[in-house]
């Protein structure tokens, strides 16, 4: 018997024995993905599709990039794994590159294998550093699927977990959404009242460690804040000794025409989390980057966090190759140009 499975066998085995995420199972009919190149992928019947969403908004370099594939092959042949307490060349090279591309001031890094885990790390770090517990997130948000990060998710994906998530110390405020303002104000006359509301929460809740934001909200509607929002929120956080965490899992890596969305407003978060585009999704890598001030705190205080796969060399080497490829191809600049072009068209220009 041949062990080459037909497309219908692949689909049946997958559907029967694997969970389809975020759905009832009985209407899941996955497409059999066979190969991919550039911005196209091909199914088991040889039909080609334009990958308009770059899979899950993550394959920023496109499929089949030779430099990233070679980095994976070379790393596998040299050092496929190292425990997190070792220094590795890939780890050092990636750290150097991150200092080049991340918003200035983010100088110390904890690596994970997903955006979800990057956020879990951020919550623990923020709580250890401030000695405070509460995290303010916003309703229209998604921050991941495990118990802490789903508890910090404002959208309905949180509901099936409740009331278990309620114990996680997260409270929700209004998102910034000038198109459909959650507190029924109108920009610019509002004076950014949605940020004032968060300040009111900080002042009255007490014990707030951090405000957690997606700088450009992703799966909850691609909400772009007005120019005043982040400078104002940064000042509010500074005035109250609260950390600002930017979840750039989706908005990072050139997707807003800058390396990171926060660069659009020149505002520096205390912690930035990311994943997806960091390796163009060729391998699972997440990052929790913290400020020098936070880093200094842990010089003398116990850093109570870790994973077996933290700083896994097979994830870091392709990230180095991904950043080099983005730089070589000028992809952030390209995204900026294409964004202006497409945005113009969407706004009715010709
Ligand atoms: C803004 C944001 N944060 C966190 C996550 C979770 O990342 P992951 O799916 O890699 O765990 C996502 C995933 O889509 C996201 O869009």
β-strand 33-37 against 106-112: which pairing, if any?
unpaired
pLDDT score recorded for residue 1: 47
The neighbouring-strand residues paired with 83 are none
- Going by alpha carbons, the residue nearest to atom 14 of ligand 1 is 250
What pLDDT is attached to residue 2? 54
Q: State whether the beta carbon of 274 lies less than 6 angstroms from ligand 1.
A: no
- Ligand 1, atom 8, residue with closest C-alpha: 115
Q: Calculate how far, in angstroms, residue 212's C-alpha sits from the geometric centre of ligand 1.
A: 13
| Ligand 1 atom 9 nearest Cα | 115
CA distance 176 to 140: 9
Q: By three-state DSSP, how is residue 11 classified?
A: helix
Instruction: Give pLDDT, residue 163.
Output: 84
Q: What confidence score (pLDDT) does residue 168 get?
A: 87
Q: Is the CB of 218 under 6 A from ligand 1?
A: yes
Strand partners, 238: none
Query: Which of 56, 151, 175, 250 is the pocket-test mutation for ligand 1 (most atoms within 8 Å of CB)?
Result: 250
> Strand (E) positions, the chain?
33-37, 40-43, 48-50, 106-112, 134-138, 170-173, 208-213, 243-247, 271-274, 286-291
Give the three-class secondary structure for 211.
Answer: strand
275 lines ligand 1 (CB under 6 A): yes
For residue 142, how far is its CA from the centre of ligand 1 (angstroms)? 7
User: Exposure pattern of 235-250 as b/e (b: 16+ CB <10 Å)?
Assistant: ebbeeeebbbbbbbbb
Residue closest via CA to ligand 1's atom 3 equals: 143
Ligand 1 site, residue 248, Cβ cutoff 6 A? no
Ligand 1 lined by 137 (C-beta under 6 Å):
no
pLDDT digits (tens, 9 = 90+) for 72-81: 999 999 999 9
pTM score, whole prediction: 0.97
Mapped onto helix, strand or coil, the DSSP state of residue 217 is: strand
CA of 143 to the centre of ligand 1 (A): 6
Structure tokens at 300: 């003398």
| Ligand 1 neighbour 148 (Cβ under 6 A) | no
Q: Is the CB of 116 under 6 A from ligand 1?
A: yes
Which residues does the chain have with pLDDT short of 70?
1-2, 349-350
Q: Is the CB of 143 under 6 A from ligand 1?
A: yes
119 CA: nearest ligand 1 atom: 4
């Amino acid at each position: 018997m041949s062990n080459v499975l037909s497309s219908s066998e692949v689909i049946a085995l997958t559907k029967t024995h694997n969970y389809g995420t975020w759905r009832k199972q009985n209407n899941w009919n996955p497409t059999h993905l066979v190969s991919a190149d550039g911005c196209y992928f091909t199914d088991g019947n040889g039909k080609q599709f334009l990958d308009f969403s770059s899979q899950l908004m993550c394959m920023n370099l496109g499929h089949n990039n030779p430099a990233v594939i070679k980095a994976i092959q070379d790393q596998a042949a040299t050092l496929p794994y190292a425990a997190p307490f070792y220094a590795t060349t890939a780890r050092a090279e990636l750290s150097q590159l991150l200092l080049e591309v991340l918003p200035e001031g983010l100088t110390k890094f904890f690596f994970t294998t997903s955006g979800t885990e990057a956020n879990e790390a951020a919550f623990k770090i923020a709580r250890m550093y401030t000695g405070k517990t509460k995290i303010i997130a916003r309703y229209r948000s998604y921050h991941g699927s495990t118990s802490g990060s789903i508890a910090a998710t404002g959208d309905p994906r949180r509901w099936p977990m409740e009331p278990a998530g309620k114990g996680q110390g997260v409270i929700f405020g209004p998102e910034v959404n000038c198109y459909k303002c959650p507190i029924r104000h109108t920009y610019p006359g509002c004076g950014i009242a949605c940020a004032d509301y968060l300040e009111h929460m900080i002042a009255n809740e007490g014990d707030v460690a951090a405000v957690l934001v997606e700088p450009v909200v992703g799966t909850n509607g691609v909400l772009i804040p007005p120019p005043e929002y982040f400078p104002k929120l940064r000042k509010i956080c500074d005035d109250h000794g609260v950390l600002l965490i930017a979840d750039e899992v989706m908005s990072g890596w050139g997707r807003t025409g800058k390396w990171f969305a926060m660069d659009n407003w020149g505002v520096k978060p205390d912690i930035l989390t990311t994943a997806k585009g960091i390796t163009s999704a060729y391998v699972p890598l997440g990052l929790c980057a913290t400020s020098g001030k936070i880093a200094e705190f842990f010089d003398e205080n116990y850093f109570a966090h870790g994973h077996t796969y933290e700083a896994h060399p097979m994830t870091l080497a392709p990230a180095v190759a991904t950043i080099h490829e983005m730089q070589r191809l000028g992809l952030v600049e390209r995204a900026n140009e294409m964004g202006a072009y497409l945005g113009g068209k969407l706004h009715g220009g010709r």
